Amino acid sequence: MSYTIKQLEKHYDSISVLAGLDLAIPDGAITVVLGPSGCGKTTLLNILAGLDDDYSGSIDGFSDGRASYVFQEDRLLPWRSARDNIAFVLRPLMEAGLARRSSWQALVAVGLEDQADSRPAAMSGGQRRRVALARAFAYPSDFLLLDEPFSSLDLKTRIAVMDLFVDVRAKDGRSAVVVTHDVREAIYLADRIAVLSERPARVLDVFDMSLDRSERSYTSGAAVELETRLYRTILS
């Protein structure tokens, strides 16, 4: 499956948000869309997810399938357990027993089987984020969309949850689009980074990652040159 965004434009009344945006999304990879706050990153994800059809241009490939969407907030139902939060989105697609089994498998994949019966209020922020990721992976979609999914976490927890996401997605194999305004986070996660301009957003440059995973550490100097290039692109 190939995913291509061509001349995507979006307006809210007289306000232009996306201005002729072009981007190719590699199949089976993590594409990070990096841009300043308010430039239209969430608007882009909503269009790709099919939540907004008021645009011009084309989004080839995305309209052919279903998306798993991880929002900025966890959006877990507070009166349901971790397992039931996942099963809730699966029940329209499968019988209840299979939904519960799939939910359990998703929690095992993110190392949260011991929290299966816990409600969100009893879990830490990192655990809730892992449940949200498990729900996205459990849903039988064609691609993953993630909107600033790690920004609410402290650095140590953020790195641990990002590592988990990268590992699970690599085994899962689905294409993923992650939006962020954090340069280091983009380097840490991405197979490809697309840098957006201020609003109205267009693609300033695209960087394909050649760094090994070990070279992307927050304490590694190997990513400094790429980090500098990204900042120069953003600030140009």
**Domain assignment of residue 128, yes or no:** no
**Domain assignment of residue 147, yes or no:** yes
Give the integer Cα–Cα distance in Å for 173 and 153.
25
Residue 1 has pLDDT above 70, yes or no: no
**What is the tens place of the pLDDT at every residue in 215-226?**
888 888 888 888
Q: Which amino acid is present at 125?
A: G
Q: Is residue 205 exposed (0-12), middle (13-18) or buried (19+ Cβ within 10 Å)?
A: middle
Strands ordered across the beta sheet of 67-70? 67-70, 143-147, 175-180, 30-34, 192-196, 203-208
pLDDT for position 230:
92
Residue 85 has pLDDT above 80, yes or no: yes
| β-bridge pairing 56-60 and 3-12 | antiparallel
pLDDT for position 182:
94
Give the integer Cα–Cα distance in Å for 46 and 72.
12
Give the integer Cα–Cα distance in Å for 131 and 24.
29
Q: Is residue 97 exposed (0-12), middle (13-18) or buried (19+ Cβ within 10 Å)?
A: exposed
DSSP state of 10: E
Residue 64 has pLDDT above 80, yes or no: no
Helices (H) and strands (E) in the chain, counts: 7, 9
**What is the tens place of the pLDDT at every residue in 138-157?**
999 999 999 999 988 999 99
Render the burial of 40-58: b for 16+ CB within 10 Å, e for the rest. bbbbbbbbbbeeeeebeee
**Domain assignment of residue 201, yes or no:** yes
**Domain assignment of residue 182, yes or no:** yes
Give the integer Cα–Cα distance in Å for 84 and 51.
24
- Mean pLDDT computed over every residue of the chain: 92
**Domain assignment of residue 115, yes or no:** no
Other CB atoms within a 10 A radius of the CB of residue 151 amount to 12
The region that residue 209 occupies, defined by phi over 0 for left and psi between -120 and 50 for alpha, beta otherwise, is beta
The total number of structural domains in the chain stands at 1
The domain in which residue 229 lies consists of 3-65+142-235
pLDDT for position 13:
87
**Domain assignment of residue 93, yes or no:** no
pLDDT for position 236:
79
Contact 1, 59 (CB under 8 A): no
**Domain assignment of residue 208, yes or no:** yes
Of 132, 204, 124, nearest to 164 by C-alpha is 132
**Domain assignment of residue 101, yes or no:** no
- CATH code: domain of residue 9: 3.40.50.300
pLDDT, average across residues 167-176 = 94
Confidence of residue 214 (pLDDT cuts 50, 70, 90): confident
Spatial neighbors of 152 by CB under 8 A, at least 6 apart, are 72, 73, 125, 129
Does the global pTM surpass 0.85?
Answer: yes
Residue 104 has pLDDT above 80, yes or no: yes
